[in-house]
Structure 1
Amino acid sequence: MRLILLMVGLLLTGMLRAAGPEDALKEAETAFAEGNYAKAVEQYKALLEQGYTGSELLYNLGTAALHASDFGTARLALERALLLDPADPDVLANLEALKKQLPDQFEEVPPFAPVAWWRRLAGMLSTDAWSVLLILLAWLLAGLVFAKMRGLGLAGKPLPAWLLPTGAVVLVLGASLLFTRWKMLSSHKEAVVMVAEVPVTSAPDEYGQELHRLHAGTKVEVLDRIGDFYKVELPNGDTGWLPEEALERI
């Protein structure tokens, strides 16, 4: 079913080329069904390298990689799919299944509830959808202002005094949600450990004291960069330094 949705998505976006992705998708699905998850991962990665993308493709890649125990690839693909479609229940379920299999089990610091709620709300629509909604709200507010200036009303009655302020507040909220959604897609502050094992050190060099040892699939937040090292925050709130080559930004 998700393969069909992926095919439809590629067709609708006009990304089918002369060779097309149909064969690669079918090969990936066949490989997955036969338990050859490594081959399925290769096929999905090849499509990404050709320029195809989308939450369905990333979900399929993440799922195949999860079955292949390629936790770095699985986490990266599923997190990227979640960015594109934050409410997808299949992506969320597979992410939870993946986290339970990771070697690194942290007591995660829960996000501030209002911020988490706001991000979930922003993630309900794409940036394009929020943009269209914002334009419609702006035109509606402009129409209300025009009607107010001309003394027009509804059913022969003047416009309620609360209507314009409410419209302005809704417009500002819509703009804020659009900005939040854009930041979610463009900030690239989060990254995934892609190597089998890497030490977290106290300094941005090979001489720093080892604080932790992370494994493929662990997600961190990038705070700073010095040379070839990133300062990162671990899921439990601890900080340290990781070499750039050990990470890939979400």
Structure 2
Amino acid sequence: MGRFNLLAVWLFLLPVWGVAAEHPDSLFSKGNRLYAAGDYQGAAAVYETLVNDGYVEVAVFYNLGNAHFKLNNLASSILYYEKARKLDPSDPDIQKNLAFVNLGITDRIQPLPEFFIDSWWRGLLFSASLTTWSAIALVCWGVAFGLLIVYLYAWKPRLKRTAFYSGAATAGLALLLLVVAYSQHRMLVDDDSAIVFSSQATVRSAPSESEKTLFVIHEGTKVSIIEQHAEWLRVALPNGHEGWIQSEAVKRI
């Protein structure tokens, strides 16, 4: 009887293991095939299965954004493009698609002008991905270590001087790249933003339905979350306007 129960459990688990073996590459390929065949709804469902299972990948978010755009779900498309950009802010395809989808939303909000040094620094930080900056920094550390070895064992004074100064410069560059990588990481981690999913959302002066209406924003608009109070979020727009909105009206990036 014990052997029969063991066999029953084995047969019961076989389909589960079969589904688990499908993650994540086969599901991603399945989603790509459905997308190529024009079944955007099916493709979106497959990609969302991966997301719901905890797979955090640029390609999954990017393709999910594409699928929702084809389905004319602009808010969802923007949400997943933003998620992809958060993982790889230097990808030009993500930036281009996100800019294009934002042309279709109701609110066209002009951001506040940025000080040129802040703009330059942000441009530098996001000119490459976190992985790229970290990889280049590690290579520089390796080169600096190699030059240190040359300095310690070289017997020609000119070679020792060249190795010393080159190694010091390379180590300094590695430190700078690590600062850039860390700064990008902190900026992305500290960025608590969301996308409006309601067709229109009322922004109020305080976290209550009875408070004064400041303005109305629409589906697809990106907001920065400043604080939360119960079921309300205090948000800011790129133009500096702030107010309180119900948390159910948005989805966090």
TM-score normalised per structure 2: 0.76
In 2, Cα distance between equivalents of 1:188 and 1:249: 10
Q: 1:196 is matched with which residue: 199, 219, 226? A: 199
Residue 144 (structure 1) shift: 5.4
1:217 aligns with 2:220: yes
> What residue in structure 2 maps to residue 179 of structure 1?
182
Contact conserved, 2:195 with 2:222, CA < 8 A, in 1? yes
Aligned partner (choices 233, 236, 246) of residue 233 of structure 1: 236
SS in 2 for 1:101: coil
Number of aligned residue pairs: 235
Q: Which residue of 1 aligns with 2:9?
A: none
The CA deviation at 1:75 is 0.9
Give the counterpart of 1:59 among 59, 62, 84.
62
Q: Would you say the 8 A contact 1:151–1:158 is kept in 2?
A: no
* 2:200–2:216 contact (8 Å) kept in structure 1: yes
| Equivalent residue for 1:206, pick from 203, 209, 212 | 209
Deviation readout 1:188-222 (Å, 9 max, x if unpaired): 42221123321111112222211121222111112
**1:123-176, Cα deviation, whole Å (9 max, x unpaired):** 344434433433443454456567768896675463488656644542331121
Match of 2:75 among 69, 72, 82: 72
Query: 1:11: which partner in 2?
Result: none
More helix by share: 2
- Higher alpha-carbon Rg: 2
Point out the more displaced range, 43-52 or 163-172: 163-172
Match of 1:100 among 98, 103, 107: 103
Q: Work out the percentage of aligned pairs sharing the same amino acid.
A: 29
Q: Is the 8 A contact 1:223 1:233 kept in 2?
A: yes
Mapped pair 1:248 → 2:235: no
Cα RMSD (Å): 3.1
| TM-score, normalised with respect to structure 1 | 0.77
Find the aligned partners of 1:119 and 1:232 in 2 and give their Cα distance: 22
Unaligned runs of 5+ in 1: 1-15
Q: Are residue 83 (structure 1) and residue 47 (structure 2) matched?
A: no
Is 1:170 the counterpart of 2:166? The answer is no
CA distance in 2, matches of 1:75, 1:145: 49
Indicate if the aligned counterparts of 1:153 and 1:159 stay in contact, CA closer than 8 A. no
Partner of 2:3: none
Matched residues in 2 for 1:221 and 1:153: separation? 59
1:245 is displaced (CA, Å) by 2.1
List gaps (5 residues or longer) in structure 2: 1-18
In the TM superposition, residue 238 of structure 1 has moved relative to its aligned partner by: 0.9
Write the mapping of 1:78-157 to structure 2, written as runs, cut at 5 A. 78-141=81-144, 155-156=158-159
